[in-house]
């Protein structure tokens, strides 16, 4: 059964101390209802993606069912930084299985409610906590720095190459009114910022973020019944799982779970595995750190192994290049509220495919397909989803 995104909502990302958790979530939910032209009574099932460990509220589905007057079943989903895409998968499969016709998926996080050291420790638990965090003091910048240094050693990438990713994503984030950082930066600014975990500097790292995003999913039957014209179909989704302990990994220059998820998604969508970028109009990839975006280019087969760095050097992931990537600013500039990120990517796919993105960051839509790549931990979970103007 085909499943469509029929409405979306997205809050401003950043330090949202102006609202509490239900107020923040409702901002996105209300926009999604209005966008889809539905009411609470039309929703059959409600899925919430949230890690919530740093927030005052844990029972967010129940809280929001009460706050938003949703008298339906609900479910909370958590898959580290891939939580939002995992929530979308739950909503998608609920409709595909015939259990529901209309599902609301919400991703929400209020990370700024906890002090930074607490947030850093909690994120450290998204790996093999007692082995890596307790024994060796690894935090997430350090986790991904291991991948960055391995990539540098094998493929001669440089700190400047990573900085180019930050420059690109801030360039597009400056054009996104919902982004946490709406200011362009220069290569010199990025390179002169202080080190966080070598080779990563300040501008190589995504921020701690509050934010919410929501999508309304509907079955093909409901789309026909309601005569919905503006919609985007979920064409396929692939899911992969990596080892908890990084010492069990075969390589640090790829996230095996992401490559596996991409292969599944491409096969289900009937997309050419050799040059998938030729059948896509753009992508959102999980750039929690700048090196992660370059590695994603290769895991997603936008470039051959070792050649992903050439895409950013030659500006091939800007509009007009081989494949535009992270035109909303990505996690790096838009922000990374853990549970909301995957849903935010879905919102961006919807906006791009329907040519609703803001001026200066709207891709040219030729193929009618957009990819999202959402990673939990350092490849502990990976979701690759392909959205399309046409259903299978």
Alpha helices in 37-139 (DSSP H): 60-67, 83-96, 116-124, 135-136
Residue indicated by tokens 């059959």? 44
**Residue 366 gets which letter from DSSP?**
S
CB 66 within 8 A of CB 93: no
Q: Are strands 45-49 and 73-77 parallel, antiparallel or unpaired?
A: parallel
Separation CA 329–CA 342 (nearest Å): 14
Among residues 52, 168, 155, 163, the alpha carbon closest in space to that of 113 is found at: 52
Who contacts 323 (Cβ-Cβ below 8 Å, separation ≥6)?
277, 280, 282, 283, 302, 316, 317
Examine the residue annotation and report whether 288 is marked as an active-site residue of this protein.
Answer: no
Examine the residue annotation and report whether 205 is marked as an active-site residue of this protein.
Answer: no
CB 18 within 8 A of CB 210: no
Residue indicated by tokens 């995104």? 5
The 3-state DSSP class for residue 176 equals coil
Separation CA 124–CA 378 (nearest Å): 11
Annotated active-site residue in 10, 147, 286, 336:
336
Annotated active-site residue in 81, 205, 288, 373:
81
Taken in order 310, 317, 164, 139, is the CA torsion positive or negative? Answer: negative
Q: Are strands 232-241 and 195-197 parallel, antiparallel or unpaired?
A: unpaired
Tokens encoding 212: 């919410």
Please give the angle made by the CA atoms of 32, 332 and 188, to the nearest 5 degrees.
145
Who contacts 139 (Cβ-Cβ below 8 Å, separation ≥6)?
120, 121, 123, 124, 133, 197
Question: Which residues are annotated as catalytic?
Answer: 81, 336
């Amino acid at each position: 059964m085909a499943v469509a995104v029929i409405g979306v909502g997205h809050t401003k990302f950043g330090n949202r101390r102006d609202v509490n958790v239900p107020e923040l979530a409702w901002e996105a939910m209300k926009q999604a209802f209005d966008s889809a032209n539905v009411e609470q009574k039309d929703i059959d099932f409600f899925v919430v993606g949230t890690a919530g460990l740093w927030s005052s509220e844990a029972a967010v589905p129940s809280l929001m069912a009460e706050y938003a007057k949703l008298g339906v079943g609900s479910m909370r989903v958590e898959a580290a930084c891939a939580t939002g895409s995992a929530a979308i998968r739950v909503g998608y499969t609920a409709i595909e299985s015939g259990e529901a016709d209309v599902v609301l998926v919400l991703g929400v996080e209020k990370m700024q409610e906890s002090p930074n050291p607490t947030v850093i420790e909690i994120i450290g638990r998204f790996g093999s906590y007692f082995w890596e965090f307790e024994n060796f003091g690894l935090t997430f910048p350090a986790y991904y720095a291991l991948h960055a240094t391995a990539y540098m050693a094998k493929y001669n990438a440089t700190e400047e190459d990573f900085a180019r990713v930050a420059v690109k994503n801030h360039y597009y984030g400056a054009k996104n009114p919902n982004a946490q950082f709406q200011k362009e930066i220069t290569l010199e600014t990025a390179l002169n910022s202080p080190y966080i975990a070598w080779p990563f500097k300040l501008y190589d790292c995504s921020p701690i973020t509050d934010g919410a995003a929501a999508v309304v999913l509907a079955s093909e039957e409901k789309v026909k019944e309601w005569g919905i014209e503006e919609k985007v179909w979920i064409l396929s989704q692939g899911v992969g799982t990596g080892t908890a302990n990084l010492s069990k990994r075969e390589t640090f220059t790829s996230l095996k779970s992401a490559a596996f998820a991409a292969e599944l998604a491409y096969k289900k969508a009937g997309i050419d595995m050799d040059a998938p970028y030729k059948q896509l109009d753009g992508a959102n990839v999980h750039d929690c750190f700048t090196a992660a975006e370059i590695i994603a280019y290769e895991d997603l087969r936008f470039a051959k192994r070792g050649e992903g760095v050439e895409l950013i050097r030659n500006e091939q992931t800007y509009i007009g290049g081989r494949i535009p990537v992270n035109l909303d600013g990505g996690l790096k500039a838009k922000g990374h509220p853990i549970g909301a990120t995957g849903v935010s990517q879905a919102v961006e796919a919807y906006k791009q495919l329907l040519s609703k993105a803001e001026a200066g960051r709207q891709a040219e839509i030729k193929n009618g397909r957009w990819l999202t790549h959402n990673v939990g931990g350092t490849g502990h979970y990976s979701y690759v989803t392909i959205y399309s103007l046409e259903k299978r």
